[in-house]
Structure 1
Amino acid sequence: MYNIVIVEDEPIELESLNRIVSQCVDNVVLHEASTGKQAIELIDSLKQIDMMLVDINIPLPNGKEVIEYLKAKNSTTKVVVTSANDDFDMLRSMLSLRVEDYLLKPVKKATLTETINRTLGVDRQTMSASRAMKQNITDLLDHAQCAQWHDYLLKQVNQAFQKAQAGTDASLQLKELFDTIRIHLARPNDQYATVHTKLNSLAQEVERYGLTPSLYAHLILSLLRLSHEIFSMTPITAKLQSSHQAFLQRATLHIERHILEKLTLDDIAKHAFVSACYLSRGFKNQCGVGVSNYITQRKIAIACGLLQYSDLNMNTIALELAWQDANYFCRVFKKTVGMTPSAYRQLHASPQRSAAIVTG
């Protein structure tokens, strides 16, 4: 996620810059200031500023003084100056402040877009991946696709840890994931306030500790638990509760929201508003698998990630997935996957961890 500050005192120009930046940069949080005083307050309050667009002729303190203050506090922030005056003396003074570019107003969209992408180092591949992430998150959350949401989270987190095992730092990939979810869930009434807090905490832990085996289980289990809250408030979820034809969706939604808990057919049927017998027949006919087997398959998918990327022992994994003990977990895992959890862990371990694997 990028934090970009726009310092501009002309309302029309400010609106234009805001629109252009929003269109050309994905996962951006924009901050606005119409005076030098407001700009300095933002510099003091924001932990990170990736780029600042500064009109040099803003009310006091002027743009040059704002840039001097910014550089004194954070020399890594990229700065692009805008001005309606073709003042070469001013341009020379800007060079001493190590600004990235100097644009004449009115700034053309193509010019500003190219300048921002070059300044932030955003390439087309990165932009495409960010847009795909944003679209996936929007589609899955807006349509209450909880099972697919969990698959997506597992895939994203597993890919990041796979890169980490290969020696590539993928921390930014996960931080962008958490930030994108937070931005999507932004609501004026703060209904997702606790979710925002938790996602921000997870991002900070990734930054602080890196993608270590000890952090993997915490991330995955925390994200799965957050789904309980996220999918309790969507408009689609409300529609499912009132639809007589949506008992299967209600059943799978309840299963996914409680996937880390012990689930029974009677309890699932109660939340699907049908009898246990009706749910059992309907689920098997529509999904091709019984309720119990569906739950097992969903839990095993989580267990595979925990075995491959975390350092949890077998008994802890079993307890986290609400199975009675490690022996029962091992029997279920072998029946479903075709090998024991220990063999699976050994098969998928990175070379660095193979010798140190704890099989429980």
Structure 2
Amino acid sequence: MLKILIVDDEVLERKALTKIINSSLLDVTVIGEAANGRKAIEMAVEHRPDIIFMDIKMPGIDGVQAVKEIKKLNSLIRFIMVSAFNTFEYAKEVMQQGVKEYLLKPSSIQDILEAVGRVSSEILEERKHQEEQQSLRENLDRAVSIAQKEWISSLLVNQVQDITFDEWSKLLGVEITSGYIMLFTLQQLGPSELAASEKQNLYTWLKDTLKAVVKKHEIMIGPITDTQVPVLFLCKKVTEKTYFKTNAQQILESFIRFFNKESFRGELRIGIGHPYSQAHELNKSYHEAVMALEQLLRMPNRRYLFCDKHGTAFEVPAESGFMEVEKKLLDAVRQGDVNQVLFIFDSFVTKLESNKTIKPSSVKKSFDELFILLSRMLHDLGINYERIPAIDESEDIWLIFEKGKTHLLAVVQHVQLWRNNHAKGMLQKAKEYIEIHFSESITLESVAEYVELSPFYFSKLFKDRFGLTFIDYLTEIRIKHAKAEIVNQGKSLKEICYSVGYKDPNYFSRVFKKATGLSPTEYRKVTVS
């Protein structure tokens, strides 16, 4: 219900307006009366009315002055000016303040209520528009957040190959020339694990605080795995290592100050990778952040650590091809393809045989990194597999390889079991959900959430399992039901369009024709005749 304030120096005028408005069928109510402009300003601040009936000629602060002052305080309030003087100058002054309604005393009840009706409709229409815009912004923010998480997840397992910084620059509207990864984690102090609600609170706080602290970079925040969150920092320009570190340190020091004011059960630790000028190299920055974080967790007095690019994190020579085979290994494990995993792994070992400088410590660290990536991938898939092999860098290098191979095979077997049982059941559950809810506004994200899988992996698994993408299957179901409905001539094509989940009859017609070769109208003629 809209609130109205009556302002007039004549008490009878105020009482008459109040009675007319409160007796009407309009969804409005008078919440107060003021005898002069000064009182009107005070009551506007106190009661925040939606509409003010404002008399122009009053002692002291007149109506025009009062409108100017009130609009400074609240520009959303609408005014209906009332005057016994029919002069252009008065009308011109109030029109300059954006006032559209002007009533002459004495006004008929019909004129008064019509003016209130017009202003009320304008307010409600504007509010509806604002709510729609807010809803669009929220949906867009949610879509962007989901897209960023999947983007980061893909990037970390080196699945993003064809996106350049130039393309990111166009998408984000700023010039991007390099990027790097920070890996945030909460090192727990007690034996008990964080509850799911505590992890969610940590994740929400981290996102909000990073957005408040980071000003000179664009950031993309990945999903939380256990208590680890990868964050991609996209920079305009990084010309020197010291410049990059200076900026990163400023961000981290501010962030840590905010963290110290919170009461999370654990200590904040951050590993930082190096910046890279090519988007496909960001996977390296993530690897560096992982290695920096591993070292950091053994340093009780440090909060963050930059990876030493000349240290142990990348001792495996580039020609060994380890970085190149990681993606293939992860893909083969995700598919549960034992033969492919063995082939890729054996090729990798054969490649290393020619390298006489390789060290057990280098291989051990590379395997540690691979197993962390495997763990993250399994978590995103919804697979619980916590076992990690105990590899000692003092062992013979070939024994390390054998342990790594054994672990990979165990993971593949676990994935196979999951795909054959749990994933199969969840995908069937998703399929049944689509078949029941096809007429609603369902999305890939909502169905993935229903079966508790990440949208990225749900999409891949669904296509692998059924040979169709999610949207193709949803379309197939909708068209199947539409074809059955079209035979019933008692229903209009527009009704059928809405009943199978489409909101736009023109779009429905295009999709139907693409699927059947006929428009809905043509299909009805053929099938009914």
Whether TM exceeds 0.5 here: the answer is: no
Give the TM-score category using the shorter length. 0.3 to 0.5
TM-score normalised by structure 1 residue count: 0.36
Structure 1 or 2, whichever has the larger Rg, is 2
TM-score normalised by structure 2 residue count: 0.25
